[in-house]
Structure 1
Amino acid sequence: MPTRPDFLVESLTIEPDSGGSGVVKKGQTLRVTDIEGQQVGCFVSVTEEDPMKYTDCIYTNWRNGRYKWREGDFVYSNHMNPLWFIADDKTANHYTGGGFCSRDAFQHYCDSDQPGCREILQSEYRKLGMDPNLLQSVSCIGLFMNVEYAPSGEWLVSEPITKSGDYIELCAATNLIWMTSVCGWPKVINGEKPTPLRFELYGSTR
């Protein structure tokens, strides 16, 4: 089902601590580019027909047999149906355990009352006329986030390995709505400082 992106339909650059969304039709490709390098984007999607059908990181890990997704893998829904095909991926390094930062996390770790990716994603749900309580932790892919599970049982977060211009291309297996929050968490999670991400929608003539 993968098609090669032939022409640019639209492009959206999103700053840190901000959100965005879009619609991707079956066969179209969404390219997410780390413009400056070492930036994380919290990314969720639902089917256009039913927001209760959403990306499921855990089921995707089960279906692919690993938590390190790579080019050629599918991303699956909570009903184990394919939603995306990973057509290209320059780093193959993302956090696929679900979850997102939040106002609660900022208060606990940073003594700050700022909204996190959870609140920003919920705001995108509202803008699209969807109930923000439909947002599921398990649906969130930490694009470009660098996490390792150590044999000792530790959960180790390091700076992203992405360089300027690295990207992932996701080809839609069905009609989808995507939402994102460009993470504003302090350094290590996002390198030295948070920076923008670019989201480009491509169509195909094939």
Structure 2
Amino acid sequence: MDMELTHDTASMMIPAGQGLAFRIRTGDRFRLVDTEGGQVGDLFAFAADDPGEYLSAAHTRTAVSRLFPRIGEHFATNRRRPILTLVADTSPGAHDMLIAACDAARYDALGEAEHASCADNLRIALSGLAMTTHLVPQPVNVFMNIPVGTDGDLTWLPAPSRPGDAVTFEAHMDSVVVVSACPMDLNPINGERPTSLAIEFVTPRT
């Protein structure tokens, strides 16, 4: 689904288990809102004029020397350019950039071959903008709570975000962003009951 930003604010809903793609211009801001609480959002971002350049979790970790940026720090592309900046976060601050997007193979291994997935949501959402990608990048898993133990073990915990919690991003380049309201209901990350997310667009006044 596409949208022109002609007003100072606008919003769009992402139904549980589905995805949304939108275009955003350099300097524009958007908020990812957890409408009911406890819901993970898989976020992907691509350079608007070249989907071969995309937000890369690995390059971001290198750029910020952290598992996730702090407020004011940027997410980097696979070409080491800033694409989004983390502007604000009203949630408890649990987010993940280690876990791959769920896909058909993961659900097949869990005995749910026809299950919706974030990888499929990415492709379906991009097709609405007449775009394709042959790669499913590592997403920014907003609100996802996967703590890393001192021994390196990962723990899969429910998202601690509360109703109305939001994370705000600012675009460093004209971009196409995709957000998937993760459909995972076979482990605790969404409280075993996926719910909706919202996108609120904010075009800074000049």
**TM-score, with structure 2 as normaliser:** 0.90
Return 83-92 or 36-45, whichever deviates more.
Answer: 83-92
What is the aligned partner in structure 2 of residue 183 from structure 1? 182
Distance in 2 (CA, whole Å) between partners of 1:110 and 1:36 is: 28
Secondary structure of 2:124's counterpart equals helix
Query: Does structure 1 residue 149 correspond to structure 2 residue 148?
Result: yes
Secondary structure of 2:189's counterpart equals coil
Return 124-133 or 74-83, whichever deviates more.
Answer: 124-133
Distance in 2 (CA, whole Å) between partners of 1:121 and 1:183 is: 11
Measured after TM superposition, the shift of residue 24 of structure 1 is: 0.8
Measured after TM superposition, the shift of residue 29 of structure 1 is: 0.3
Secondary structure of 1:124's counterpart equals helix
Distance in 2 (CA, whole Å) between partners of 1:175 and 1:98 is: 26
Does the 8 Å CA contact 1:69/1:94 hold for their aligned counterparts?
A: no
Measured after TM superposition, the shift of residue 119 of structure 1 is: 1.1
Secondary structure of 1:168's counterpart equals strand
Does the 8 Å CA contact 1:70/1:89 hold for their aligned counterparts?
A: no
Distance in 1 (CA, whole Å) between partners of 2:15 and 2:162 is: 17
Secondary structure of 1:148's counterpart equals coil
Measured after TM superposition, the shift of residue 21 of structure 1 is: 0.9
Q: Map Cα deviations across residues 17-56 of structure 1 (whole Å, 9 max, x no partner).
A: 2111111111110100001111011110101111111000
Structure 1 residue runs without a partner (length 5+): 1-5
User: What is the RMSD of the two structures over their aligned residues, measured on CA atoms?
Assistant: 1.6
Does the 8 Å CA contact 2:119/2:136 hold for their aligned counterparts?
A: no
Change (3 A) 1:105 1:58: same
What is the aligned partner in structure 2 of residue 172 from structure 1? 171
- What letter corresponds to residue 194 of structure 1 in structure 2? P
Number of equivalenced pairs? 198
Secondary structure of 1:163's counterpart equals coil
Change (3 A) 1:48 1:111: closer
Give the 5 Å matches for 1:35-54: 35-54=35-54
What is the aligned partner in structure 1 of residue 21 from structure 2? 21
Give the 5 Å matches for 1:67-146: 67-91=67-91, 92-97=93-98, 99-133=100-134, 135-138=135-138, 140-146=139-145
What is the aligned partner in structure 1 of residue 3 from structure 2? none
Return 86-95 or 17-26, whichever deviates more.
Answer: 86-95
Return 59-68 or 184-193, whichever deviates more.
Answer: 184-193
- What letter corresponds to residue 85 of structure 2 in structure 1? F
Measured after TM superposition, the shift of residue 193 of structure 1 is: 1.2
Measured after TM superposition, the shift of residue 169 of structure 1 is: 0.3
Q: Percent identity?
A: 23
Distance in 2 (CA, whole Å) between partners of 1:50 and 1:132 is: 10
Secondary structure of 2:102's counterpart equals coil
